[in-house]
Protein backbone atom coordinates (compact mmCIF):
# COMPACT_ATOMS: atom_id res chain seq x y z
CA UNK A 1 0.00 0.00 0.00
CA UNK A 2 2.79 2.42 0.81
CA UNK A 3 4.41 1.96 -2.60
CA UNK A 4 1.07 2.33 -4.34
CA UNK A 5 0.24 5.51 -2.42
CA UNK A 6 3.63 7.15 -2.89
CA UNK A 7 3.73 5.99 -6.50
CA UNK A 8 0.32 7.55 -7.12
CA UNK A 9 1.63 10.90 -5.91
CA UNK A 10 4.80 10.63 -7.99
CA UNK A 11 3.63 8.76 -11.10
CA UNK A 12 4.04 11.80 -13.37
CA UNK A 13 7.09 13.38 -11.68
CA UNK A 14 8.99 12.91 -14.94
CA UNK A 15 6.79 15.54 -16.56
CA UNK A 16 9.13 18.13 -15.06
CA UNK A 17 11.36 17.23 -18.01
CA UNK A 18 8.68 17.98 -20.61
CA UNK A 19 8.60 21.49 -22.13
CA UNK A 20 5.57 23.53 -20.99
CA UNK A 21 4.61 24.18 -24.62
CA UNK A 22 3.90 20.46 -24.96
CA UNK A 23 2.82 19.70 -21.40
CA UNK A 24 0.23 22.48 -21.27
CA UNK A 25 -0.91 22.35 -24.88
CA UNK A 26 -4.72 22.53 -24.93
CA UNK A 27 -5.18 20.62 -28.18
CA UNK A 28 -4.12 17.30 -29.64
CA UNK A 29 -0.41 16.54 -29.67
CA UNK A 30 1.50 15.91 -32.89
CA UNK A 31 3.20 12.51 -33.18
CA UNK A 32 6.51 14.16 -32.23
CA UNK A 33 4.91 15.81 -29.17
CA UNK A 34 3.37 12.48 -28.17
CA UNK A 35 6.80 10.86 -28.32
CA UNK A 36 8.20 13.65 -26.15
CA UNK A 37 5.33 13.26 -23.63
CA UNK A 38 6.01 9.54 -23.38
CA UNK A 39 9.54 10.22 -22.17
CA UNK A 40 8.10 11.39 -18.85
CA UNK A 41 8.00 7.76 -17.76
CA UNK A 42 11.75 7.25 -18.15
CA UNK A 43 12.50 10.63 -16.57
CA UNK A 44 10.28 9.76 -13.61
CA UNK A 45 11.75 6.32 -13.21
CA UNK A 46 15.26 7.80 -13.03
CA UNK A 47 14.13 10.31 -10.42
CA UNK A 48 12.44 7.83 -8.07
CA UNK A 49 15.03 5.08 -8.46
CA UNK A 50 17.69 7.59 -7.49
CA UNK A 51 15.78 8.41 -4.31
CA UNK A 52 16.08 4.84 -2.99
CA UNK A 53 12.39 4.50 -2.06
CA UNK A 54 10.32 1.34 -2.04
CA UNK A 55 10.73 -0.64 -5.27
CA UNK A 56 6.95 -0.54 -5.74
CA UNK A 57 7.10 3.27 -6.06
CA UNK A 58 9.41 2.90 -9.04
CA UNK A 59 7.12 0.17 -10.39
CA UNK A 60 4.13 2.53 -10.44
CA UNK A 61 6.14 5.34 -12.03
CA UNK A 62 7.78 3.05 -14.60
CA UNK A 63 4.75 0.97 -15.61
CA UNK A 64 1.61 3.09 -15.20
CA UNK A 65 1.25 3.41 -19.00
CA UNK A 66 1.73 -0.29 -19.73
CA UNK A 67 -1.38 -2.11 -20.95
CA UNK A 68 -2.64 -5.59 -20.18
CA UNK A 69 -2.39 -6.58 -23.87
CA UNK A 70 1.21 -5.34 -24.23
CA UNK A 71 0.35 -2.28 -26.33
CA UNK A 72 1.42 0.24 -23.69
CA UNK A 73 4.74 1.96 -23.11
CA UNK A 74 7.63 2.30 -22.45
CA UNK A 75 8.48 -1.44 -22.36
CA UNK A 76 5.42 -3.09 -23.90
CA UNK A 77 4.90 -5.26 -20.82
CA UNK A 78 1.77 -7.40 -20.77
CA UNK A 79 -0.42 -9.25 -18.32
CA UNK A 80 1.10 -10.20 -14.99
CA UNK A 81 4.54 -8.96 -16.15
CA UNK A 82 3.18 -5.50 -15.31
CA UNK A 83 3.75 -4.91 -11.58
CA UNK A 84 0.54 -5.26 -9.55
CA UNK A 85 0.81 -1.72 -8.14
CA UNK A 86 1.05 -0.28 -11.66
CA UNK A 87 -1.97 -2.31 -12.84
CA UNK A 88 -4.04 -1.05 -9.91
CA UNK A 89 -2.91 2.53 -10.37
CA UNK A 90 -3.58 2.49 -14.13
CA UNK A 91 -7.28 1.89 -13.46
CA UNK A 92 -7.49 4.65 -10.84
CA UNK A 93 -5.47 7.06 -13.00
CA UNK A 94 -7.64 6.61 -16.10
CA UNK A 95 -10.83 6.85 -14.04
CA UNK A 96 -9.60 10.09 -12.49
CA UNK A 97 -8.54 11.47 -15.88
CA UNK A 98 -11.92 10.67 -17.39
CA UNK A 99 -13.90 12.21 -14.51
CA UNK A 100 -11.72 15.33 -14.19
CA UNK A 101 -11.76 18.59 -16.08
CA UNK A 102 -8.53 19.08 -17.99
CA UNK A 103 -7.25 21.98 -20.13
CA UNK A 104 -8.13 19.97 -23.22
CA UNK A 105 -11.48 18.43 -22.15
CA UNK A 106 -14.53 18.59 -19.94
CA UNK A 107 -15.11 15.78 -17.43
CA UNK A 108 -16.98 12.70 -18.57
CA UNK A 109 -20.00 11.57 -16.60
CA UNK A 110 -19.58 8.68 -14.21
CA UNK A 111 -21.51 6.43 -16.59
CA UNK A 112 -19.32 7.40 -19.56
CA UNK A 113 -16.14 6.83 -17.55
CA UNK A 114 -17.29 3.39 -16.42
CA UNK A 115 -18.24 2.42 -19.98
CA UNK A 116 -14.78 3.43 -21.22
CA UNK A 117 -13.08 1.43 -18.46
CA UNK A 118 -15.22 -1.60 -19.27
CA UNK A 119 -14.25 -1.34 -22.94
CA UNK A 120 -10.62 -1.55 -21.83
CA UNK A 121 -11.02 -4.76 -19.80
CA UNK A 122 -8.53 -7.31 -21.10
CA UNK A 123 -6.82 -4.84 -23.42
CA UNK A 124 -5.85 -1.77 -21.41
CA UNK A 125 -6.65 -3.11 -17.94
CA UNK A 126 -6.25 -6.30 -15.96
CA UNK A 127 -9.82 -7.65 -16.20
CA UNK A 128 -9.82 -9.15 -12.68
CA UNK A 129 -8.59 -5.93 -11.07
CA UNK A 130 -11.06 -3.89 -13.11
CA UNK A 131 -13.91 -6.10 -11.87
CA UNK A 132 -12.85 -5.39 -8.28
CA UNK A 133 -12.65 -1.67 -9.02
CA UNK A 134 -16.11 -1.68 -10.59
CA UNK A 135 -17.48 -3.21 -7.37
CA UNK A 136 -16.43 -0.08 -5.44
CA UNK A 137 -16.35 2.62 -8.14
CA UNK A 138 -19.80 4.10 -7.51
CA UNK A 139 -19.19 4.35 -3.78
CA UNK A 140 -15.78 5.97 -4.26
CA UNK A 141 -17.09 8.35 -6.91
CA UNK A 142 -20.14 9.38 -4.87
CA UNK A 143 -18.09 9.90 -1.72
CA UNK A 144 -15.32 11.96 -3.29
CA UNK A 145 -17.52 13.97 -5.66
CA UNK A 146 -19.70 15.08 -2.75
CA UNK A 147 -16.76 16.38 -0.68
CA UNK A 148 -15.32 19.87 -0.50
CA UNK A 149 -11.58 20.48 -0.54
CA UNK A 150 -11.17 20.38 3.25
CA UNK A 151 -13.08 17.09 3.50
CA UNK A 152 -10.87 15.58 0.80
CA UNK A 153 -7.77 16.74 2.69
CA UNK A 154 -9.10 15.07 5.84
CA UNK A 155 -9.77 11.84 3.94
CA UNK A 156 -6.22 11.99 2.60
CA UNK A 157 -4.82 12.60 6.09
CA UNK A 158 -6.77 9.63 7.46
CA UNK A 159 -5.59 7.38 4.63
CA UNK A 160 -1.98 8.45 5.08
CA UNK A 161 -2.16 7.92 8.85
CA UNK A 162 -3.57 4.43 8.33
CA UNK A 163 -0.67 3.38 6.08
CA UNK A 164 2.27 5.47 7.33
CA UNK A 165 3.77 6.49 10.65
CA UNK A 166 3.19 10.24 10.60
CA UNK A 167 4.53 12.54 13.30
CA UNK A 168 2.27 15.57 13.68
**Is the torsion defined by CA of 78, 112, 32, 86 positive or negative?**
negative
DSSP letter (8 states) at residue 147: -
Closest CA to 90 of 6, 2, 11, 10: 11
DSSP letter (8 states) at residue 75: S
Query: 67 catalytic, yes or no?
Result: no
Of 15, 25, 49, 101, which is the active-site residue? 15
Are 36 and 74 in contact by the 8 Å Cβ rule? The answer is no
Residue 58: CB atoms within 10 Å: 26
The upper half-sphere exposure of residue 12, i.e. CA atoms within 13 Å in the direction of its Cβ, equals 8
Active-site residues, by number, are: 15
Amino acid sequence: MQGLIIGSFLHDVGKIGIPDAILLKPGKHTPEETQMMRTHVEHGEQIVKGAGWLPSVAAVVAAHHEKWDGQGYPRGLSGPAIPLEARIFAIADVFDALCSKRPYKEPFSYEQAIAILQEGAGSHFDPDLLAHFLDIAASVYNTVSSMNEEQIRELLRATMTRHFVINT
